[in-house]
Amino acid sequence: MKERDRRWALARKLMDDEGLDGLLVTGQANRGAPNVAPDVYLSNDRAGGWLVFPREGEPILLSWSGLHLICQAVESKRGMTPWIRPDHHWLGRDAAMVKKAFEANGLMSARVGIIGLEPAGPRQESFLSHSAWESVSAELPNVKFVHVWRRLARMMLVKSQEEIEVIRHCANAGEKMSEAFVAAARPGMTEAGVYAQAMAAAFIGGANSAALIIQSGPDNPAWGFPDWLVRPVRSRTLDRGDLVQSELFPTYGLMETQQQVCVSLGKMHPVHQKAAEVAREAYDVGLEKMRVGTTFGEVDDAMTDVVKRAGGWFVTPQIHSLNPISVLSGLSTFGMENFSDAGTYAPIPPKAARNKEIVLQAGMTFAMEPNCHFGDRRINIGGTVLVTQSGPVELNAIANHVVEV
């Protein structure tokens, strides 16, 4: 319960700082094991609930299904101490139940922070549909709602010792996934076969992974889920001379780590070799800069400058925060006019870094993912790094270099 008390104290500090009487925290529909879900962060229960959190008293969790109440009861009998008392765990996630919870806490004419209406990074699972928001607003006409997600997200960036141990376990699961990915990536294997082996390693290790990125080929600049997960086509078969690259997303206990695994089937093409050297240099420069007291922008600028000086381009950022993901995010889509088919699309401008002014603190976690394109040849490496008072700690190893097999 120590971690519950710490997180609830953060929520109440947010309320005090912003002059709020409570919070309404909305979770995303039916998701089994999210990596960043503000409702779960405060409830330690299934995702998809709406949490009414008063400054005084205990929060009320509104769950969308009775299944969640039954799971809580069963798990309590097995020794789990629920963060939300059973009599504060209500069935019904709609405007009428929100009003009932607000009435119970004297919030009908209050100033309340809301989480679920602001833009968020990828997989930050909190949103309220327009129709739901209209219904909530109609039921609570005298409540003054204030957007507070960005402030809470920044507070969440610094992890407790308990959270750090969870992240270490998650990073170890990512290392097992990386091992499985490298072992499976061979000529004659399909992308789907490699994918399956890596995903299985996460589950065997007791972690979760909703998906992973895999792209392959001798000159494939693409990044993102493979076409066979998007439309009904066959999975590509790997061949000698391919680069097989992946981004892994293991999660454990609400925490996420990432690993950018890059496997060369045979000796790398000279252009790939050059890109690999640039990516590794960017990684080393970023690691050297990653110190308590340094701004995020200083780290990102140092990494992107390496790629720019080499004449490379890149789609994804060289670095971004984890837990929550991409609250801090580096420059991306830089130099995309250099990709061979760029002329067939509208101009693609660079996407500016986000929150460059934030100062690094011990307990923050980052995905180091230096990537460099030359023409249509791409290299992406890197794993998860923890900021400590004595310097950065690399939580992964396999993904930090290109693996030749």
CATH number of the domain where residue 130 is located: 3.40.350.10
Asked if 76 and 174 sit in the same domain, the reply is no
pLDDT of residue 29: 57
Q: How far is CA 220 from CA 32, 260, 376, in A?
A: 33, 16, 6
Q: Which residue among 132, 156, 180 closes a domain? A: 156
CATH number of the domain where residue 227 is located: 3.90.230.10
Residue 30 has pLDDT above 60, yes or no: no
β-strand partners of 114:
24, 147
Asked if 54 and 131 sit in the same domain, the reply is yes
Residue 270 has pLDDT above 70, yes or no: yes
Q: Taking the complete model, does pTM exceed 0.75, yes or no?
A: yes
Asked if 323 and 201 sit in the same domain, the reply is yes
pLDDT of residue 128: 82
Label residue 163 by pLDDT band (50, 70, 90).
very high
- When the pLDDT of each residue in the chain is averaged and rounded to a whole number, the result is 94
Asked if 231 and 346 sit in the same domain, the reply is yes
Asked if 184 and 44 sit in the same domain, the reply is no
Could you read off the pLDDT of 55-101 as tens digits, one per residue? 999 999 999 999 999 999 999 999 999 999 999 999 999 999 999 99
Beta-carbon neighbour count of residue 87 at 10 Å? 8
Asked if 206 and 132 sit in the same domain, the reply is no
306-321 CB burial, b ≥16 within 10 A, e <16: bbbebebbbbbbbbbb
Proportion of the chain above pLDDT 90, given as a percent: 86
Q: What is the mean pLDDT of residues 307-318?
A: 97
Q: Which residue among 87, 121, 156 closes a domain? A: 156
Residue 50 has pLDDT above 90, yes or no: yes
In the chain, the number of structural domains is: 2
Asked if 89 and 200 sit in the same domain, the reply is no
Asked if 287 and 349 sit in the same domain, the reply is yes
Could you read off the pLDDT of 370-399 as tens digits, one per residue? 999 999 999 999 999 999 999 999 999 999
pLDDT of residue 34: 54
- Containing domain of residue 249, as a range? 161-404
Asked if 192 and 57 sit in the same domain, the reply is no
Could you read off the pLDDT of 207-228 as tens digits, one per residue? 999 899 999 999 999 999 999 9
Alpha helices in 23-128 (DSSP H): 38-43, 66-77, 95-104
Asked if 232 and 326 sit in the same domain, the reply is yes
Asked if 75 and 130 sit in the same domain, the reply is yes
Q: Which residue among 115, 141, 156 closes a domain? A: 156
Of residues 147 and 121, more confidently modeled: 147
At residue 134, φ and ψ (nearest 5 deg) are -60, -40
Asked if 175 and 130 sit in the same domain, the reply is no
pLDDT of residue 126: 58
Label residue 112 by pLDDT band (50, 70, 90).
very high
> Nearest Cα to 220, choosing from 262, 280, 279?
262
